[in-house]
Structure 1
Amino acid sequence: MTQIRRLSTADAGFSQSLAALLAWDAAADDQVQQRVAAIIAEVRGRGDAALLELTARFDHWTPTGAADLEIPRNRMAQAWDVIPSDQRQALEAAAGRIRAYAQRQRLASWDFTEADGTLLGQQVAPLDRAGLYVPGGKAAYPSSVLMNAIPAKVAGVGELIMVVPTPGGEWNDLVLAAAHCAGVDRAFAIGGAQAIAALAYGTASVPAVDKIVGPGNLYVATAKRAVFGQVGIDMIAGPSEILILCDGATDPDWIAMDLFSQAEHDEDAQSILVAWDADFLERVAASIERLLPTMERRAIIAAALRERGALILARDLDDAVAVANQVAPEHLELSVADPRAIVGRIRHAGAIFMGRYTAEALGDYCAGPNHVLPTSRTARFSSPLGVYDFQKRSSLIMASRAGSAELARIAAVLARGEGLTAHARSAEYRAGAEYPVAP
C-alpha cells in the first residue's frame, strides 16, 4: 500500500507536524557548500581551462578546446528543423501564449512635474545581459527555456546566454529548438556550479552576465546563492510543490494524477491535498493506490509521496484556506465549485489554478503565466519570474530653482540632525541660487 501521511487540522500539534513536513533548506549541506566554493574558485582562477576539466569530470565528455563548449546558433536552427512537426507546433503555440502574457507585464517609464517645476519620475531599462540555466541531467526541459528566455526578450535584454549540461556530450534537439524559438543569442554546453560561476565571473569564452535565472539541482542552487551580489539571481529554487484545495466534488482520479504530476519531478517534491470531506480523502487515496502502478516514474512518485506528501483533513473551507496560506505553496489548485469566490482570500501562493478543469500541468507548459515560481514558503514574500525581473528602475529627480530652495530647507534640517553638515551645505548652496546660462 502506498504510504502517505494523514493529517488533520483538529489534531493536537498539527501546526508543528505541518511545519516539519514543509521544512526544506536548499543549501544546508556543508559539504555541498564547500564543493561549490571550490568549483567557483577554480573557474574564477583558471577560466576556460577549469570549465574543460570540470565538464570532463562531471558530464563525462572531453572537449578538445574551449570552442567546443559553445553551441553554434546554426546548430540551434538545425534542431528546430529536425524535431517532429508536432513538437515544433507545440513550442510555437506555447511560446506565443507566454509572450502574449509577458507583454502585459512590461514596466514603463513615467514622470510628473510638481507645481514649482520640479520633475520626479522613474526610468525603466532592460538588463544588458542575462544568463539562463537549463537543467539537463535527469531530464530535458525545453519548457524551462521558453519560460526564462521569452520574458527576458520581451523586456529587451541585450544578450541572452544559455548554459545547459550535456551528459556524455549529447545535445538535446528539443532544448536547442526551444532556444531557437525563444531567441537565445548564445548557448554553451556546460552545467552545474561551474556554469553558474562562468556566468557570474566570465571566462575568455563565456561572457559575464548581470543576472542568472533558471532552475537546477542542489549544486546549482548553492552556486546561485554563493554568487549573489556579484550578479542578480531570480530565486533559490527548492523542490517542486503542489497543494490542492478540494471541496470533494472533483473526480478523485484527476486529483490523484495532479498530485503525481509534481511528485514525479524527484523524490523531494511535495504533493499535498487539503479537503474537508473525509470520505473524499479516502477515495483519492484509493485512486493513488490504483493509478500509481501505471506510472512510468512510479518509484520516484512513491518516494515523494511517502517522504513529503500528505492528505490533510480540514474542518471546513475556512480552515482549508488557512492551511493553504500557511503552506504558501509554489502551485495551488482551487478545485472547487466557485474558485473566484475564495481566491481573494489566498495571500501566499506562487501560481493559483482555479476550477476543476485547470490542471497545474497547463501552467508548466503553455497557459501563459511563468512556471518559474517561489518554493519552500518563499511565496510569502516573492513572486513568479516575469518581465520585471529583467528590467531595472532608476529614479529621476530634476529640481527647479524654486523647488531646490524648498527641498534644501527640509534636507538641511534632517542632515544636520544626522550630523552630516556637508549634506546640508551641498543642498543650501543651490537654494535660490541663479546659475548662469551659457549664451
Structure 2
Amino acid sequence: MAMDRRVFLVLLLAGCADTSPQGPLTAISPAPPPAPTPQTTVTPAPTPQTPVPAGELAFDTWMQDFRGRAIAAGLSPDLLDRELGGVIPDPRVISLDSRQPEFSKPVGDYIRGVISEDRVAIGRSKRDQLDFLSQIESRYGVPGDILLAVWAMESAFGQLQGNFDVVRSMVSLAADGRRRAWAEGELIAALKIIDSGEVTRAQLKGSWAGAMGQTQFIPTSFRATAVDFDGDGRRDIWGSDADALASAANLLVRGGWKRNVGWAREVILPPGFDYSVTEGPREIPAWWEARGVRRADGLPWTAQDAASPAMLILPAGATGPAFLALPNHFAIRTYNNSTSYALGIGLLADRFAGGAPPITPWPVETPLSMSDRMAAQIALARVGFNPGPADGVIGAGTRRALRAWQQSQQLPADGYLSNDMVARLKAQAGISP
C-alpha cells in the first residue's frame, strides 16, 4: 500500500533535520551549535477529485427515487438490491429508442415486405402441423390464421425473440426519461414476474423495448394475459408454441376481438365520393352501401359483419386500396396501434387461408423524408390547421388536419401525405423547397 503523502513528507523532513552521528557519545567537547535553520512549512498538495459525470448523478438520483416507488408498489428491498444492484443503462437501448427512420416506408412497400411468398408458405405449413391451433381457436374465437400472422410478424414464427435483458432495458428507458412512466410500470411488472418465481431473470429476454417471447409481450401484458395452454404449470411464451399463441389469442380477446366477425373488407368507392369521411364515422355496411360503397370481391356481407360498425380507411390515399375496418381491426391494434400493422396482420392471415391480394393495387410511392414530414406539419400549423407537434410522425392528428386543409383547397380529402401534398403545403406556408 502506498504511504500517505503527508506522513511521507513529515518523515522526510524529520530525517533531513537529524544530523547527529549514530553511535555512543564521546567526551570531546561538543562543537558550537549551528545557527538555527529557518523552517519552511510544507502544505501537502490537495488530492485531485474526479468529478462525477452528470449522467451518473442523474441515474443515481432516478434510481433512488424509483426505489421508493417500487417499494410502494409492493417490491421488497431485498429483491431490488438483488436485481438492480450494479445495473447501469444500456447505451444500445437509448440509441434505438431515440432513433427515428430518416425515410417513412410507404404502406404498399410495407405490405409487400410483410406478405412474402416464403412467409405465406411457412404459415400454411404451420397450419397443417399444429394440432392445438384449432383448440385455441375454439376456446378464444380468434382464427388460427390471425394468430399465425401475429406469430410471423412478431418473431418470425418464434425464431427472432430478442436477447436483451428486459430488466436492464426498462431501467435504461426509465432513467432516460422520454418514456419514464411507461418504462417504470413495465420495470415493476418485470420485477414482479421474477419475484413470483414463474420466470428467472436469465429467462426474461426480449427486444430492446421489452417485448418478450414468441408473441412479444411486454411485462404488463404477460402478467395480465399470458396463459398456460399446454398444461405444464408454466406460462411459457418463450419455449411453448401453444402457450405463446394462446396468450396472443387471449390478448386479442381482451382487446375486443369479436367471435365470427371479420377484421376488414376491401371496398370500391364510387366516383365523386366524399373522402373527408375517411377515419370518421363507424357505421354498419348498409350505411356505407347507401353512399355507393361496395365490397371489392362482390360477395355479400355475412350476418355478423353486416351488423358490425365499420370505419373507412385509405392507407395509401384515394388512389390505393380502400377498406371498411371492422371491430377486429381495432382489436389487432391493441397489439400495435398502427393501421399498417393491423393491415399487415389481416392481409397475411387472408393469404394463409388462400385469399388473394387486394384488387386495387398499391400505388408506387416515393418515401417521405423526416424533414419533409416535419415541414408538412409546420406548414399545416402556419396556415391554421393544428396537426399537433412537428415530430415527423404522421398520426391521426396530422391526418385530421391534412383532411381539413385538403377540403379548404377543394382537393380529395383523404388525409394522405404524398410528395405532392408536401410541396403544396410548403408553397402555401412560404417554406422553401
How high is the TM-score relative to the length of structure 1?
0.21
More strand by share: 1
Name the structure, 1 or 2, with higher relative contact order (CA <8 Å, separation 6+): 1
How high is the TM-score relative to the length of structure 2?
0.21
